[in-house]
Amino acid sequence: MDDLRPSPIAGRWYPAQANALRQAVDAYLEAVPVLAAPAADDILGLLAPHAGLMFSGPVAAYAFGAVREASIDVVALVCPSHFHADGRALTTGHQAYATPLGVVAVDGAAVSAVRAALAVRLGLSPERALVAIRDDQEHAIEIELPFLQRTLAGDFSLLPIMLRDQGDAMALALGQVLAQVLAGRRALLVASSDLSHYYPQARAEQLDAEMLRQVAGLDPRGVLATQAAGRGQACGPGAIAAMLWAAQTLGAGQARVVRHATSGEVSGDFQQVVGYGAAVVSKN
């Protein structure tokens, strides 16, 4: 496949050499204790953080470790758009993503289906409902791919969505559309989001605990309301809510928060930390 999205973060946010990246990801996965968890095939969604691998990797491993050897056809990965404001919802204009561990093809048919259905729900033209951009700088999708490449059984395709608009209407519409498009497929929903940003450790723990309480309650409206009221914080509240709405429609019955930490536990700086949470959403 020739049309690969150029990586803006390999060699910076994670190792650019395959062996080094594989060893780093595997070490984080192996450090996760064996937990009583849903069967991998019952898992519908994950919440995982998206900072540099050394910061968020130890937490992300708790989410992705739950789907080891799961057989997945397509991963719908939703994140905030940190850099691009080309539209309310964005996707890649390339045919595939690449990491040092290999190529992940974009599911063009699923992208087209989401674009068409989202246009109907939002009353927009398809081109405006889901805007395709090339050479994007977004890290929040790419940083999750090595974990997916090391845990899922076999090849999978990617449905990447970056949200500039994380309001209630967009999150609900996207959640409904994802459930519609993914129904009947072996699909995994991933919300890529960090939690609170640049608070002292004690305050970050309070904000993160409230946001993760909404996630554990399978409450997408609670996620958005908590963000709006300032009781909790995430950089991707709309991404989290969309994942939860889609998972609920697809049969989710429970969500478990499996890990929380902050950047201070890696950097040693507890005055301005970023919060990271991992959660697993499953049928039972």
Residues 6 or more apart from 198 whose CB is under 8 A from it? 272, 273, 274
Instruction: List the domain boundaries for the chain.
Output: 18-282
Q: Distance of CA 104 to CAs 36, 90, 246, 277, Å?
A: 30, 18, 23, 25
Q: Where are the alpha helices (DSSP H) in 123-236?
A: 126-129, 139-142, 145-151, 168-182, 201-216, 220-229
Residues 6 or more apart from 25 whose CB is under 8 A from it? 53, 57, 61, 146, 147, 150
pLDDT at 225: 98
pLDDT at 40: 77
Could you tell me the CATH superfamily of domain 18-282?
LigB-like (3.40.830.10)
Tens digit of each residue's pLDDT (9 = 90 or more) over 199-233: 999 999 999 999 999 999 999 999 999 999 999 99
pLDDT at 38: 81
pLDDT (tens digit, 0 to 9) for every residue of the chain, 284 residues total?
789 999 999 999 999 999 999 999 999 999 998 776 788 789 999 999 999 999 999 999 999 999 999 999 999 999 999 999 999 999 999 999 999 999 999 999 999 999 999 999 999 999 999 999 999 999 999 999 999 999 999 999 999 999 999 999 999 999 999 999 999 999 999 999 999 999 999 999 999 999 999 999 999 999 999 999 999 999 999 999 999 999 999 999 999 999 999 999 999 999 999 999 999 999 98
Q: Where are the alpha helices (DSSP H) in 83-133?
A: 108-122, 126-129
Q: Is 33 helix (H, G, I), strand (E, B) or coil?
A: coil
pLDDT at 36: 64
Give pTM, 2 decimals. 0.97
pLDDT at 284: 86
- Residue 95 has phi, psi (to 5 degrees) of -85, -15
| 212/233 Cα distance (integer angstroms) | 9
| 141/106 Cα distance (integer angstroms) | 12
